């Protein structure tokens, strides 16, 4: 005899002391559980893809860039960053010197960037030198300087 009571979600047997379970009751419950779990496990909309899981497990990469003094230098990541933040170690974000705004911190997104940096797919480029027709000086690749670069997936 099937149980008098059922569980609220999957309607599995919940026997009373007076019920007499039969093998078919257990087989029926196992089929219900298998169908529910199988449907859930095969539902790709409810689960993260491997690349989505990677973003959750390791959402960003941090590295140190060593300035070369060249007009530009680049870093290439093994993913396409959605956001990059870079700053010169032990320097203010921006300072005023020699009638110029010196840029020591920069950011880049897929939709736009600040002065001193650019982003194209998985490559980030850092710039050093005067910005034409402005009073900005990009200081993102100064020789013998170190920069922290944080790239978000």
Residue 27 to residue 42: CA distance in whole angstroms? 22
DSSP-assigned beta bridge partners for residue 83: 109, 152
Average pLDDT over residues 82-95: 97
Q: Which residue has the higher pLDDT, 3 or 145?
A: 145
**Interstrand relation of 136-139 and 100-103 (parallel, antiparallel or unpaired):** parallel
Return the pLDDT at 138.
Answer: 97
Q: What is the pTM of this model?
A: 0.68
**Interstrand relation of 72-76 and 123-130 (parallel, antiparallel or unpaired):** antiparallel
First to last CA, the chain: 56
């Amino acid at each position: 005899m099937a149980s008098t009571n059922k569980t609220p979600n999957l309607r599995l047997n919940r026997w009373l002391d007076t019920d007499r379970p039969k093998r078919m009751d257990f087989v029926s419950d196992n089929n219900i559980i298998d169908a529910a779990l199988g449907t859930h496990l095969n539902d790709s909309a409810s689960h993260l893809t491997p690349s989505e899981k990677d973003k959750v497990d390791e959402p960003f990469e941090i590295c140190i860039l060593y300035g070369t003094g060249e007009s530009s230098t680049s870093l290439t990541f093994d993913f396409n960053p959605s956001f990059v933040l870079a700053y010169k170690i032990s320097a203010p974000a921006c300072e005023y010197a020699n009638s110029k705004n010196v840029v020591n911190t920069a950011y880049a997104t897929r939709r736009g960037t600040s002065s001193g940096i650019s982003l194209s797919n998985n490559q980030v480029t850092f710039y050093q030198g005067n910005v034409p027709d402005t009073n900005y000086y990009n200081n993102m690749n100064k020789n013998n300087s170190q920069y922290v670069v944080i790239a978000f997936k």
